[in-house]
Structure 1
Amino acid sequence: MDIQNHYYGHSAVLAAYAGLSRPRHIAGLLQHGWTATSPVAAHFADFPRVGEDPRQRRLLVWSHGCRGWSPDDETRATTAVGAPVLYLERLLQAQGWSRSDRLGPVFVPFHGTRLVRVTGAHADLARQVAKVDGPSTVCMHHEDLTDPEITSAWSDAGHRLVTAGRRDDPRFLLRIMHLIGNASRVSSNRLSTAVLYAAAIGAPAAVWGDPLTFGAQSASAVDELRATWPEFHTADPASGERPDTGAADADDAATALARRELGADALLEPDALRAALGWGRTPNVGPGIQYYAASPLAKAAMVLGLTKRSEQSTQAMSAGSFSPMLWLRNPLAALPRPLPKGLRTPVTTEDPAEALPRP
Structure 2
Amino acid sequence: MHHHNHYYGQAHILARYAGLDFDHPPRLRGYLQHGWNIGCGWNPVHEFYDGAWRFTWSDAPRRRGHALGRRNYHSIGAPFLYLLDLEPAAEEEREGTLWFLFHGWEGGKIQGDHQRLIDEIRETEPGPVTFSLYYTEYERPEVRRYYEDAGFRVVSFGRRGFSYERTDRRFLFKQLAELRRHKRVAANRLSTAIFYGVAAGCEPAVYGDPMQMEGENPLFGGESRIKRLWPEMLGKSIDLEAARATTDVELGRSWMMPAAELRMLFDWRERV
For 2:227, what is the secondary structure of its paired residue? helix
Deviations 1:127-172 (A, max 9, x none): 3212321541111101111211211111111100011111111100
In the alignment, structure 2 segments of 5+ residues that lack a partner are 161-166
* Cα root mean square deviation, aligned: 2.1
What does residue 72 of structure 1 align with? 66
What one-letter code is carried by the residue in structure 2 that aligns with 1:8?
Y
Change (3 A) 1:194 1:101: farther
What does residue 59 of structure 1 align with? 54
What one-letter code is carried by the residue in structure 1 that aligns with 2:85?
R
Change (3 A) 1:71 1:213: closer
What one-letter code is carried by the residue in structure 1 that aligns with 2:130?
T
What one-letter code is carried by the residue in structure 2 that aligns with 1:86?
L
What does residue 32 of structure 1 align with? 34
Inter-partner Cα distance in structure 2 for 1:69 and 1:162? 36
Inter-partner Cα distance in structure 1 for 2:106 and 2:169? 20
Change (3 A) 1:48 1:170: same
1:259-274 paired onto structure 2 within 5 Å: 259-274=248-263
Inter-partner Cα distance in structure 1 for 2:230 and 2:222? 12
1:178-193 paired onto structure 2 within 5 Å: 178-193=177-192
Inter-partner Cα distance in structure 1 for 2:63 and 2:28? 24
Inter-partner Cα distance in structure 2 for 1:270 and 1:121? 46
- Counterpart among 113, 118, 125 of residue 126 in structure 1: 118
- Counterpart among 86, 90, 97 of residue 91 in structure 1: 86
What does residue 130 of structure 2 align with? 137
What's the TM-score, normalizing by structure 1?
0.68
What's the TM-score, normalizing by structure 2?
0.88
Q: Identity across aligned pairs (percent)?
A: 32
The answer (yes or no) to whether the contact 2:56–2:73 under 8 Å persists in 1 is yes
What one-letter code is carried by the residue in structure 2 that aligns with 1:106?
L
The alignment status of 1:160 with 2:159, answered yes or no, reads no
The alignment status of 1:6 with 2:3, answered yes or no, reads no
Deviations 1:55-79 (A, max 9, x none): xx4211111046x953531422200
> Which range moves more in the overlay, 70-79 or 224-233?
70-79
The answer (yes or no) to whether the contact 1:206–1:232 under 8 Å persists in 2 is yes
In the alignment, structure 1 segments of 5+ residues that lack a partner are 242-249, 284-359
1:133-282 paired onto structure 2 within 5 Å: 133=125, 134-167=127-160, 168-217=167-216, 221-234=222-235, 237=236, 240-241=237-238, 250-282=239-271
Change (3 A) 1:65 1:216: closer
For 1:111, what is the secondary structure of its paired residue? coil
The answer (yes or no) to whether the contact 2:176–2:200 under 8 Å persists in 1 is no
Inter-partner Cα distance in structure 2 for 1:190 and 1:75? 28
Inter-partner Cα distance in structure 2 for 1:209 and 1:151? 17
Higher alpha-carbon Rg: 1
What does residue 104 of structure 1 align with? 96
> Which range moves more in the overlay, 166-175 or 274-283?
274-283
Q: How many residues align?
A: 259
Inter-partner Cα distance in structure 2 for 1:70 and 1:47? 16
What one-letter code is carried by the residue in structure 2 that aligns with 1:200?
A
- Counterpart among 101, 114, 123 of residue 106 in structure 2: 114
Inter-partner Cα distance in structure 2 for 1:214 and 1:113? 9
Structure with more contact order per residue of length (Cα contacts < 8 Å, sep ≥ 6): 1
Deviations 1:243-280 (A, max 9, x none): xxxxxxx1110111111111101101001111222212
Inter-partner Cα distance in structure 2 for 1:99 and 1:186? 18
